[in-house]
């Protein structure tokens, strides 16, 4: 039996209606007084997990440049094929992304891009309130990705599987 599933005995014989009704009423009255589970959403917000994988964020260096070196690993690993990357190179031979776009509608939020990134540049974020007036608004470009400020996901650590 799965963990936490409460199995009730089938009432078989010697069952009293009055007793059953009174028991039920005691149960509902207990619930009447118990603390409520509803989160008053716009005022109070749900505490999301540190491993929550939401919309992306590109981290930046101290100078405000994106950390991305346009290595091309993330578009390769992406199972949903939602990252568009066109690499460029400056006069010193440093690679940087000319175009870096993530289609958040195609994204399945697996977090592989964060795992594969050698520079710890692209991250999935701990964020869930994303609404836009158009579908095009969900294609986040480099400027949008670097401008995001929400906390980023702590990926699963094999040494600490329960995140303690």
Binding footprint of other proteins on the chain (CB under 8 A): 7, 9-21, 24-25, 27-29, 31-34, 36-38, 40
Residue 49 C-beta: closest distance to other proteins, Å: 22
Cβ-based nearer residue to other proteins, 24 or 163: 24
Q: What distance in Å separates the CA atoms of residue 95 and residue 65, rounded to the nearest whole number?
A: 12
Q: What distance in Å separates the CA atoms of residue 25 and residue 36, rounded to the nearest whole number?
A: 18
Cβ-based nearer residue to other proteins, 16 or 63: 16
Cβ-based nearer residue to other proteins, 45 or 150: 45
Residue 11 C-beta: closest distance to other proteins, Å: 5
Residue 32 C-beta: closest distance to other proteins, Å: 5
Cβ-based nearer residue to other proteins, 3 or 32: 32
Residue 112 CB partners (closer than 8 Å, separation 6+) = 74, 77, 78, 79
31-70 burial, b for 16+ CB within 10 Å, e for fewer? eeeeeeeeeeeeeeeeeeeeebbbbbbbbeeeeeebbbbb
Closest CA to 127 of 53, 60, 58: 53
Residue 3 C-beta: closest distance to other proteins, Å: 16
């Amino acid at each position: 039996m799965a963990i936490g599933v409460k199995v009730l005995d089938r009432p078989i014989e010697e069952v009293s209606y009055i007793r059953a009704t009174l028991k039920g009423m005691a149960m509902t009255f207990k619930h009447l007084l118990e603390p409520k589970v509803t989160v008053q959403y716009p005022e109070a917000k749900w505490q999301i997990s540190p491993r929550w994988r939401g919309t992306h964020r590109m981290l930046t260096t101290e100078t405000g440049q994106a950390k991305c070196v346009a290595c091309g690993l993330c578009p390769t690993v992406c199972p949903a094929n939602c990252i568009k990357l066109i690499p460029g190179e400056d006069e010193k031979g440093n690679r940087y992304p000319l175009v870096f776009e993530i289609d958040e509608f195609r994204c399945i939020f697996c977090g592989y891009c964060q795992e594969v990134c050698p520079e710890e540049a692209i991250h999935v974020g701990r964020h869930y309130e994303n609404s836009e007036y158009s579908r095009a608004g969900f294609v986040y470009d480099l400027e949008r990705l670097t401008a995001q400020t929400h906390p980023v996901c702590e990926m699963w650590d094999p040494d600490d599987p329960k995140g303690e």
